Amino acid sequence: MRQKIIFSLSLLLPFGMMLLYVWLTATELPLRDDIYVIADGPIKAFLNGTLAFSDLWRASDGQRFLGYNLFLLASAKWFSLSYKALALLIPFFVLFAAVLLYREYRESLLPQRSPEFIAATFFILSFIIFNVIQWESLIFGYALAYQSSMPFFILSFVTLEVFIAQGGIKNYAAALIATALAFLVFSGKLYIVFLPALGCTFLCYILTRRAYLTRKFWHRSVSLVFLLAVIGLIYFYKIQENDYVSDQVFYAAEIFADPFHAAQFFLASFGASVIGVDVFFSVGYLSFPIMVMMGLFIVFFYIVAIVLFISSRMYEKTYLPFFLIMLTLFYLVFMTFRRFGLGMDYGMASRFTYISLYGLAAISWIFIFVLSTQKKPKTLETVSIFAALSIMLTGLLMTSLIVWHVQPARQDYFMKLYDIVMRVDTATDEELLNIGVWPEQVRSSLKLLREHNLNVYRKQQAAGK
């Protein structure tokens, strides 16, 4: 009973703070990515009575959003297309991911540590995962398309790991269902980095267990490759056909032409997973070189964590923290190739931290495992671990406080956008740029919502009555 109480507190307190932040801050308005699907997507098709599966399956910038589109339709049908209602779902998907992590975290520390100790120390991981440093991924409806993917990819990895270790038809079926849900329904951007992260983890599995691999293992591996190939073929079949975004931008040439600044951009994105952009812009003496230096520290912590993962033989318990580290690494590499040309500080945007926070949680998990399971950890090792945890948690705590401090300003900003939306006919193009990239598309989307009394216009209709 005491263990359940401690676990509930360690999980629900951070969850409650995230839910409260979303409730107080999230906007009803359709912004940025959601403008596409209103102007020329499933919402328009639904309102015109022409909705087909192809509208739900259609790609946007090389990504499919079937699950999110279904949520959009549900919101349009029952909640007048409330984007705040969609945003309020996000903390529950993060909660789903946290529960999956706790299950693996608990198994990795038993029986060396007590259930009470495990539940109490999990607070460190939940504080990281639920941290509001990721505020851009919490308060907009379209963020659900990305946040909803993480628990399903974690579930996919866990089921794949169980099957590769144990085999069995039931385990294969579980891996098939979880991976199909992750890729085909809730893929978001994670499908891009899932396979390379999975490949690195599989290589780690082979290298650490090479003396114990049997023929059955290789048979299972082939069957999993077949599973992933079939799901990948379904996902990528004609993915470029009728994409919302015709020209996908990559900055590979710019990166190779200026690797020094590209490396700074990349390191700053690691630093921003601990010290958020709100801190960066609100504290005058926190310069970009300091963010790069913080990124160097965080990358060093990642390297130390991987070394400790191998040396402590943690892989005998689970490979999930190693996978989460690889997922973060490949995601930030991918983000660098997509965003480097937009400005040196662009990789520090808070919307990218919804992935990198899981990398920090994985580091903390490995550190706790080493301190908890080794009989006599080395003094230097112990000092380094506590120093790393102190830096990460202090940075996240400081960022959380400042994010909450500027929360009223964000509410005021959304109220100004609300005023623009309510006078869509007379709003200037410059004003509409605050809502989406193409003013005319924004205008037509808002007029469509007004015509059908959806979103904020339903209140206008109620007031008219």
Q: Which residue has the tokens 């998907």?
A: 93
Residue whose C-alpha is closest to residue 157's, from 165, 169, 148: 165
Sequential pLDDT tens for the chain (465 residues): 788 899 999 999 999 999 999 999 999 999 888 887 787 788 988 998 999 999 999 888 888 999 999 999 999 999 999 999 999 999 999 999 999 999 999 999 999 999 999 999 999 999 999 999 999 999 999 999 999 999 999 999 999 999 999 999 999 999 999 999 999 999 888 888 999 999 999 999 999 999 888 999 999 999 999 999 999 999 999 888 888 776 667 888 899 999 999 999 999 999 999 998 888 776 666 788 999 999 999 999 999 999 999 999 999 999 999 999 999 999 999 999 988 988 888 889 898 999 999 999 999 999 999 999 877 777 888 888 999 999 999 999 999 999 999 999 999 999 999 999 999 999 999 999 999 888 898 999 999 999 999 998 986 655 454
Q: Omega into 111 within 30° of 0, i.e. cis?
A: yes
Torsion angle in degrees (nearest 10) through CA of 93, 413, 351, 31: 70
Alpha-carbon distances, residue 68 vs 21, 54, 98, 190, 229 (angstroms): 22, 14, 20, 14, 24
Token pair in block for residue 6: 């401690």
Instruction: Label residues 387-412 b or e (16+ Cβ within 10 Å = b).
Output: ebbebbbebbebbbebbbeebeebee
Domain ranges for the chain, please list them.
29-81+409-464, 150-247
Tally Cβ neighbours within 10 Å of residue 233.
9
Residue whose C-alpha is closest to residue 17's, from 399, 446, 426, 404: 404
Token pair in block for residue 253: 């040439």
- Mapped onto helix, strand or coil, the DSSP state of residue 60 is strand
Torsion angle in degrees (nearest 10) through CA of 287, 289, 293, 299: 110
